[in-house]
Every structure is written in structure tokens, then in C-alpha cells.
Chains A and B, each alone.
Chain A
Amino acid sequence: MSLRSLLHERWRTRVSLLAAGCLEGGEQQATLLHLDACGECRREHEAALAMLETLAADPARDAELPVPVEFLVTRVEARVAALTRSRGFRWARLAYSLAVAAALFVVLPWILPPLVPPVVDRVVKRTVEPVAPIAVEPVAMDDAALRRVERTVAREQAVRYLSEAQDVLMTVASTPRSCLLEDRHLDLSEESRRSRELVSRRALLVALDDDSVASARLVIDDVDHVLREVARLDPCANPEAVARVQQQMEQDRLLMKIRLMSRELVG
């Protein structure tokens, strides 16, 4: 490359930066003067400006999130919680293994000799002593422990119900698929079916009379109400009907409530 073309290449870089709005002060003035004198660079500058103008019309520039932020927050929190649990579990497992290894190291030298008696002794003992019947004692569980198990199960059921409802309502709130059967309608057949299923299973899924999930009762009632609305939608739903459900969810801040309640129940 000759010195002249090398110098010109530097001007071309400045011309691009000028078009991109990245030059200021003296550098900007010098490049503008160069444009007056150089036809090739002037054409490049005009072409770059035209391209950038075209780019300004790209819809990606002003794209909004296609789902509510709460949706993403819920997902990220779930992933972070899983991450924390797995980390904690890894450390706990390592600590446990080390503790067991240390205990065995200390205890084994004392207990091994009595556990391995001479072969003759073992044969004699086996012939002399009759095998004692194994006594089976019933496992006793006090009322408090039983109650704890019941509360845990009740909470887990409520969380599962909310999680399933959340999946359905997320789709309704974000971008339902277009219906192939009817123009400008939305395909909510799957969400409608799952809503009906959830509404009918609610009594079995959630023990709302249990004290441990009493705080969730209001949220679950709200969820149930919206699920009934979704269940009533046609499989090829009118966008206005869907918009009404979305509006109701937005007003109630339902997705956020589900998220917060699930976290509270999980503890």
C-alpha cells in the first residue's frame, strides 16, 4: 500500500466516524474540509449517512420486552435459588464426607479387632447360640412431627398449584400464538384446557383450610378467578377477550403476587 493510499485510508476511517456522529472539535472540522476537497470521500460519507438513516428505521432499536419483567424476574430468581441450593448442597456434601472420613479414621482402629474375631470362635458361636428373633418395633411419630409433615405437604401443593397456574397465565399475558383456523384470532386452546383442569383440580391440589397456606388464600382465589376467565375463552379466542383478561391480570398485578406468594410459601 502506497503512502498516499495509507493516508487516505485514515481519512476514510474519519469519514465513517463523522457519519456515525463520533467526531468533535478540530478532528470534525478537518474531516469536513477534507470532504470538500475529496469527491471519493464525499460519496462514501453520503452513502454511510444513507445507510445509518435506513438503520434508524429498524424496529429492533425501540424494541420493548415481549413479556412482563415479572416473568423474567421469576425465572431468574428460580435459577438463582437452584444455584444457591446446589452450591450449598455441594459444600454440605463435601463437609459431610470429610466428617465421616475423619470419624472412621479415628474410630476404626478401636472397633475393627473385636469385630473380626478368630474364625474358630465364630464357627463355635454359630453352632452354640440360637439365632434370636428380630424384634420389630412400631415406628412412633408424635403429633407435632405429623403436623409438620402435613404443613410441608400443604405448602408444596399450594406452590405446585401456583406454579402450574403461573405457566398458563404467563402465556396469556405475553404473546399467545395466532390461531390457524381463524384470521386475527389467538390460539389459546391449550391454556384454556389447562385452566379448566386446574380449576377442577384446585380442591384436590390445595388444602386451603390448612393454617400454613391461609396467607395464600386470597392470591389463590384471584388466580382461580382469572383461570376461570381463561377457561371460558374460545380455543380460537377473540383478541379483545384476551386483552380483557390481560388487563385484569395487569390490574391485579397477579403474576407478581404469584411470584411473591410462591417465595413466601417456599420460605
Chain B
Amino acid sequence: MEASDRELMGRLARGDRDALAPLMERHSRRVHRIALAYLRNVDDALDVVQDTFVKAFEHAARWNADSEVAPWLARIAVNQSIDRYRREKRRRASFEPLAEGDHHESLSSQLPSPEARASGSETSLRIAAALRSLPERQRAVFVLRHYEELSLEEIAGILEMRLGTVKSSLHRAIHEMRRRLQGLRA
């Protein structure tokens, strides 16, 4: 019989590295989807998958045995995605000095690379640009709702936000996405 997520987490907390493989086998696709939807970059998303499970191993002892493993991993994945996004933003900013107050808009509207243009459809690129324009937490709420189809309560738990804040964040995100994707048809 296969070990449950809880058993695997227990083993991980005791430093048993063999528990990593089955845990990754079960959850890495979902973690990857979250990271990819958030970052819109295949390489960065793969790095986030690895970072998420390394963090899970490091902090397994802090995992609350009464809670589910999937939301806990989703929380790590979102935080890792936000960290990576910030690092990338800082890196770009250091290479391309921008006028005060222009950072957010300029970074979000950057043109995709020639490779991305060749490989991605117009729809995908416009969605990526629109998602990048959202503030970090709003984007996380939107991704978890529309890419992972989680309930608002689950999102509130994962992001450690109040339910009311999740609702207003989702509303603002939908409003902004609608504005940016106006005229685009699937």
C-alpha cells in the first residue's frame, strides 16, 4: 500500500530523504502549474518546483500534522514564485534603470523574447502580460482561483489572507484582466 501524504511528511520531518520521490511524484505537476501560471516562464517554473521541495524538506518539522499537505506545498510554491519574480524584477531593474514610478508598468509591458514570440500564441502572450501587470498577491489569488480552481476559503488559507481581502483582490484582478484583455478572443 502506498504511503499517505501525512506519512511521507512525517518521514521527511525525520530527515528521511527517500520520502521526497513519492511526494514529488504526486505534487510536482500541481506545483509546476502554479509556478508557471504565476511566472509565465518554463525555466523559472521548473526552478520553483525544485525550490519548493527543498524548502518542504528543510521545514518539514514545522508542518502541522493536522493540516493537508497539498495546500501547504501550494503556499510554499506561491511564496517561491513571488520571491523569484522579485529577484528577476530587481535584476532587470539593475540592468535597465527606469524612471521613478515607472517600474511596475514598464516591467509588465515588456515585449516577449523572439523565442517566446515564436513559441507562444498571441493569446498566451497577452494573458502573460496582463497577469504580470497585477500586484503580487492579487496575481496569486487570481492564479489559484482560475488555474487551480480553488475555493476562496482555500485561497485565504494558503495565502494567509482574510476572506474579505481575497474577495476584493479577486474582484480587482478580474477587473484589471478584463481591461487588459479587451478585444482578445480565444
Contact = CB atoms under 8 A, between A and B. Distances in A.
A57 interface: yes
Interface in B138-186: 145-147, 151-152, 167-168, 170-171, 174-175, 177-178, 181-182, 184-186
A22 B144 CA distance: 13
Interface string B1-45: 000000000000001010011001100110011001100101000
A13 B177 contact: no
Contacts of A67: 46
A72 B145 contact: no
Nearest to A22: B152
Interface stretch (B49-57, B62-70, B84-92): B49-57
Contacts of A222: none
Interface in A63-80: 63-67, 69, 72-73, 75-77, 79-80
A72 B28 contact: yes
Contacts of A59: 121, 124
A214 interface: no
Interface in A109-132: none
A47 interface: yes
B107 interface: no
B186 A13 contact: no
A261 to B, nearest CB: 14
Contacts of B123: 54, 57-58
Interface residues of A, number: 36
How many of chain B's residues touch chain A, expressed as a range? 35 or more
B153 to A, nearest CB: 10
B54 A16 contact: no
Given A16-B175, A73-B21, A22 B170 contact: yes
A30 interface: no
A55 interface: yes
Contacts of B170: 16-17, 20, 22
A54 B147 contact: no
A60 interface: yes
A76 B24 contact: yes
A121 to B, nearest CB: 58
B58 interface: yes
B127 interface: yes
Contacts of A55: 127, 146, 177, 181
Contacts of B29: 64-65, 69
A69 B127 contact: no
B25 A22 contact: no
Given A16-B170, A54-B185, A65-B29, A60 B40 contact: yes
Given A17-B171, A67-B46, A76-B50, A51 B15 contact: no
B146 A22 contact: no
Contact of A61 (B17, B21, B147): B147
A67 B50 CA distance: 12
A17 B121 CA distance: 28
30 contacts: A13-B167, A16-B170, A17-B167, A20-B145, A22-B152, A22-B167, A47-B182, A48-B174, A48-B178, A53-B186, A57-B186, A60-B127, A60-B147, A61-B146, A63-B32, A65-B46, A66-B42, A66-B46, A69-B25, A72-B24, A72-B49, A72-B53, A75-B50, A76-B20, A76-B54, A79-B50, A80-B17, A81-B17, A83-B54, A83-B57
Given A61-B37, A65-B46, 13 more contacts: A13-B171, A16-B170, A19-B174, A54-B181, A58-B124, A60-B36, A60-B37, A61-B147, A65-B49, A72-B50, A76-B20, A77-B20, A83-B57
Interface of A: 12-13, 16-17, 19-20, 22, 47-48, 51-61, 63-67, 69, 72-73, 75-77, 79-81, 83-84
Interface of B: 15, 17, 20-21, 24-25, 28-29, 32-33, 36-37, 40, 42, 46, 49-50, 53-54, 57-58, 121, 123-124, 127, 145-147, 151-152, 167-168, 170-171, 174-175, 177-178, 181-182, 184-186
Q: What are the 5 closest A-B residue pairs judged by CB atoms, nearest first?
A: A57-B186, A16-B171, A13-B171, A16-B174, A51-B178
